């Protein structure tokens, strides 16, 4: 029985040597249709370390990208291409003429996350955000304040300001308090995204 076991081990070792990675044995494998899976070492009892698929997926979903096909109503912007990024449930869309214009930086991603967090903390949690659009010369952001059924619109660059839209809005203390909160929040928004616009212009000039 032991002799038979030793013979089997010898045959296995011979097979492993035969299926080694040198060119001669590679030709033999091709000739007889023998295949080996990439990343697996057949010359010993070990296999190479498996890739960490879970970590790769986590890294990828840090933010998601998609092609935004929504047409803009502002023909003066002159944007030919759009690229959307989904971050923490919000969407930021970059507009521009080339790939450099459509690349989201780490600072811009952080600015967008901070913008949403600041609005929730300083204005209201009852909000449904629309896309934040970054054009070459201006930034636009809007959303709906759900409990009051009021739409807000922030714009910096070519048209600075806060715009409010609603149906028969009652100008009571609650509404006036909301307006003051929006004004304070808008100043932070304006400062933050003004810096982003300046930085993007510098980056584009450098690339050119």
Here the tokens at position 121 are: 């903390």
Burial (CB count <10 Å: 0-12, 13-18, 19+), residue 121: exposed
pLDDT in tens, 140-170: 999 999 998 999 999 998 789 999 998 888 8
CA gap 51, 58 in Å, rounded = 13
CA–centroid distance for 71 within its chain: 21
Where are the chain's structural domains? 2-49, 57-207
Rounded mean pLDDT, 198-207: 75
Alpha carbon distances (Å) from 8 to 14, 17, 98, 162: 10, 14, 64, 82
Instruction: Assign 54 a pLDDT band (cuts: 50, 70, 90).
Output: very low
Task: Output the pLDDT for position 91.
Answer: 97
CA gap 183, 196 in Å, rounded = 20
Whole-model pTM above 0.95? no
pLDDT in tens, 113-146: 999 999 999 999 999 999 999 999 999 999 999 9
Here the tokens at position 127 are: 């909000």
pLDDT in tens, 56-75: 333 333 456 656 555 444 44
Check if the beta carbon of residue 101 is closer than 8 Å to that of residue 95. Answer: yes
pLDDT at 190 over 60: yes
């Amino acid at each position: 029985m032991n002799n038979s076991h030793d013979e089997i081990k010898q045959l296995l070792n011979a097979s492993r040597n035969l299926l080694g990675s040198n060119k001669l044995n590679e030709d033999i494998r091709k000739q007889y249709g023998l295949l080996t899976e990439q990343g697996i070492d057949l010359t010993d009892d070990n296999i190479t370390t498996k890739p960490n698929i879970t970590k790769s997926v986590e890294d990828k979903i840090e933010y998601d990208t998609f092609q935004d096909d929504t047409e803009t109503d502002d023909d003066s912007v002159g944007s030919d291409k759009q690229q959307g990024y989904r971050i923490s449930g919000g969407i930021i869309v970059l507009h521009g003429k080339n790939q450099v214009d459509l690349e989201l930086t780490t600072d811009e991603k952080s600015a967008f996350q901070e913008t949403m967090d600041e609005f929730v903390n300083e204005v209201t949690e009852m909000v449904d955000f629309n896309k934040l659009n970054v054009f070459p010369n201006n930034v636009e952001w809007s959303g709906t304040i759900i409990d009051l059924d009021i739409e807000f619109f922030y714009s910096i660059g070519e048209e600075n300001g806060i715009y409010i839209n609603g149906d028969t809005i009652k100008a009571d203390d609650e509404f006036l308090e909301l307006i003051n909160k929006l004004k304070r929040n808008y100043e932070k928004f304006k400062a933050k995204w003004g810096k982003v616009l300046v930085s993007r212009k510098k980056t584009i000039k450098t690339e050119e």
